[in-house]
Chains A and B, each alone.
Chain A
Amino acid sequence: MAKLEIESEVTGNVWKVEVEAGARVDAGDVLMILESMKMEIPVEAPEDGTVAELRVTEEDAVEEDQVIAILET
């Protein structure tokens, strides 16, 4: 089991969280949607796995490179 840190590529806000901690996800599934410069940016699971941890909730501000979720693969 490897732990993968999912980072935000941009500074912005968490608009929608689409999964709950513990959920099984496939590579490409949308974990959450960020909003930055008025664009809705989906954050996708890079690999199949389980969402071990969500480090943000909706409306949180996030910064570039901030870890926003942990995926167990």
Chain B
Amino acid sequence: MSWEEEVREIQRRRRLAKQQGGKDGIAKQHARGRLTIRERIDALLDPGSFQEQGQATAIPDYDDNDELTGFVPANYVVGFGRIEGRRVVVGGEDFTLKGGSPNAAGLRKSVYAEHLAVQYKIPLVRSLEGGGGSVRGGGGRRGGTVGEPVYATPRFRIIADAMGEVPVVSMAAGAVAGFPAGRLVASHFSIMTRHTAQVMIGGPALVERALGVSLTKDELGGAHIHAKSGIVDNIAEDEYDLFSKVRRFLSYLPTNIHQRAPRIASEDDPERMEEELLTAVPRDSNAPFDMREIIAMIMDRDSFFEIAPGYGTSQIAGLARLDGQPVGVLANDNRVYAGAMTADAGQKYRRFVEMCDTFHLPVVNFIDQPGFMIGPEAERNGTIRYGMAAVCAAAQASVPWAAIQVHKGFGVATAAHYAPDNYVLAWPSVESGALPLEGGVAVAFHREIAAADDPDAKRRELEERLRSARSPYPRAESFAVHELIDPRETRPTLCRWVDWIQPRLDELKGPTRFPMRP
């Protein structure tokens, strides 16, 4: 007697489970311009690398003779796979079944995704599509148990824990609401498609019932809303662009906090010096310049991957490589409020520093900071609190930190740009102080200015006198910076620093005091 019959039945059930929502459900999904969860997983992972967990999970129906008469697959697919040969856990809702709203078997698997990633110490990639729970769900039967037992571990605990243990990435490639929207933001990197995804806490029907306003999903939570809200970090043009950006993001990160981010062999000369850096910062202090060009000239060629370019735009953040070593890059964009720290920029900064700290990525910070944003809007936005959160995140960061004083460095906000493990370089174009000369002179010398025959001329004269007294050399003489450098030397200097910090990076592996939170 063999077990052939049972084995055939196992195979049949696996086949049934792979039928997802059936031909019609799949056709509908394609008509919406979207891939199914199984197509997504295949396109994201290295070919043939997916190993599904729970291949025959379903809600079955049996007749009185125990014959299977119905088989609705779990609407969550989860398993192991590889990206560029490295292990990941991937999971996602199957929208072709019940609109991704969890059926009983699907819910068990979706909750398992985080556990799997944390247990095996492997990055988690979530594909999110669906509206979360429904009042039609299981609860409410008389005589049955309702809710979780009071001693149960909170279901969200593992979601928080995962962020301090392994890289977590979430992709929205359809409508995402409720609990799935919560999981989207509980990530180190979140991304949505420009035309086929929406993210909202509650969808149009809920909003209309609660607030009496009628809005489409796109008006509520389209890409144009969330590129600016910061709910997602990046926008993808389509699903394939989504997968390629996720793969790229993960290439900079370690597999978990106990390992080091993978340093690759760089083909870019660490001694490369770009002539244009000599003229990159204009001598006229009020003329803007392109900080991203400076970053591109200094980092390994084409290695800069910007995160959240549409949110908190006065602050630039991203990942890059220096002589093959993954690093976090921070920089101010002087074309947006002179690079001032707004409330959004402060939150973006704090989260990014916490991510670098969690995964022990060294930070390279290009400083052109005129201070916290001021004005009525800034006060209403609570700017100083979020700004101080950024200052505290940097002050308690454990990673090696290279600070390059490119241009301005004024006020308390500047403190956000230095960490205890500092390596400080300055360019000759550096300007710093308690506050910028223009405003500072008007405040400090207001009596003299008011008493002058021509107050405006007096103010300009004072500004000019103080400006000419400003020189970059004393900070090098006083060892207030490690080195005052020729801007062209920045790349070679930083690449040498990357070599010195290697032993330190080994020592940092493990949990950090302040992992990233959403």
Binding site for B on A (CB under 8 A): 9-11, 36-42
Tell me the bound Cα distance from A39 to B340 in angstroms: 11
Q: How many A-B residue pairs have CB under 8 A?
A: 34
Flag if A37 contacts B338 (CB, 8 Å): yes
Flag if A38 contacts B338 (CB, 8 Å): yes
Flag if B288 contacts A40 (CB, 8 Å): yes
Interface string of B333-371 (1 = CB under 8 A from A): 011111010000000000000000000000000000010
Cβ of A18 to closest chain B Cβ, rounded Å: 15
Flag if A9 contacts B286 (CB, 8 Å): no
Give every chain B residue within 8 A of A9 (Cβ-Cβ).
313, 335-336
Cβ of B288 to closest chain A Cβ, rounded Å: 5
Flag if B375 contacts A11 (CB, 8 Å): yes
- Asked, given contacts A9-B313, A11-B375, whether A40 binds B286 with beta carbons under 8 Å apart, the answer is yes
Q: Which of B288, B377, B439 contacts A39 (CB 8 A)?
A: B288
Tell me the bound Cα distance from A37 to B340 in angstroms: 8
Flag if B340 contacts A41 (CB, 8 Å): no
Q: Which of A10, A38, A40 contacts B336 (CB 8 A)?
A: A10
Q: Which of A10, A36, A37, A40 contacts B287 (CB 8 A)?
A: A40
Give every chain A residue within 8 A of B337 (Cβ-Cβ).
10-11, 36-37, 39
Tell me the bound Cα distance from A5 to B288 in angstroms: 23
Cβ-based interface call for B438 (8 A)? yes
Interface size class of B (residues with CB under 8 A): 10 to 19
Give every chain B residue within 8 A of A42 (Cβ-Cβ).
288
Give every chain A residue within 8 A of B375 (Cβ-Cβ).
11
A38-B436, A39-B286 known; 13 other A-B pairs, CB under 8 Å? A9-B336, A10-B336, A11-B337, A36-B337, A37-B337, A37-B338, A38-B370, A38-B438, A38-B439, A39-B287, A39-B288, A40-B288, A41-B288
- Asked, given contacts A9-B313, A11-B375, whether A36 binds B288 with beta carbons under 8 Å apart, the answer is no
Tell me the bound Cα distance from A9 to B438 in angstroms: 23
Report B298-349 residues with CB < 8 Å from chain A CB. Answer: 313, 334-338, 340
Q: Identify the interface centre among B286, B436, B439: most chain A CB within 10 Å of its CB.
A: B286
Flag if B338 contacts A39 (CB, 8 Å): yes
Can you list 14 A-B pairs, Cβ within 8 angstroms, ordered by A?
A10-B336, A11-B377, A36-B337, A37-B370, A38-B286, A39-B286, A39-B288, A39-B335, A39-B338, A40-B286, A40-B287, A40-B288, A41-B288, A41-B335
Flag if A39 contacts B313 (CB, 8 Å): no
Cβ of B336 to closest chain A Cβ, rounded Å: 6
- Asked, given contacts A9-B313, A11-B377, whether A39 binds B334 with beta carbons under 8 Å apart, the answer is yes
Tell me the bound Cα distance from A11 to B370 in angstroms: 16
Q: Identify the interface centre among A10, A38, A40: most chain B CB within 10 Å of its CB.
A: A38
Tell me the bound Cα distance from A39 to B288 in angstroms: 7
Tell me the bound Cα distance from A11 to B287 in angstroms: 17
Cβ of A30 to closest chain B Cβ, rounded Å: 12
Interface string of B193-231 (1 = CB under 8 A from A): 000000000000000000000000000000000000000
Tell me the bound Cα distance from A10 to B288 in angstroms: 14
Tell me the bound Cα distance from A47 to B318 in angstroms: 28
Tell me the bound Cα distance from A36 to B375 in angstroms: 11
Cβ of A36 to closest chain B Cβ, rounded Å: 6
Q: Identify the interface centre among A10, A39, A40: most chain B CB within 10 Å of its CB.
A: A39
Give every chain B residue within 8 A of A39 (Cβ-Cβ).
286-288, 334-335, 337-338
Give every chain A residue within 8 A of B338 (Cβ-Cβ).
36-39
Give the nearest-CB partner of A9 in chain B: B336
Q: Identify the interface centre among B288, B337, B438: most chain A CB within 10 Å of its CB.
A: B337
Cβ of B315 to closest chain A Cβ, rounded Å: 14
Give every chain A residue within 8 A of B286 (Cβ-Cβ).
38-40
Give every chain B residue within 8 A of A40 (Cβ-Cβ).
286-288
Cβ of A31 to closest chain B Cβ, rounded Å: 15
Give every chain A residue within 8 A of B334 (Cβ-Cβ).
39
Tell me the bound Cα distance from A63 to B168 in angstroms: 37
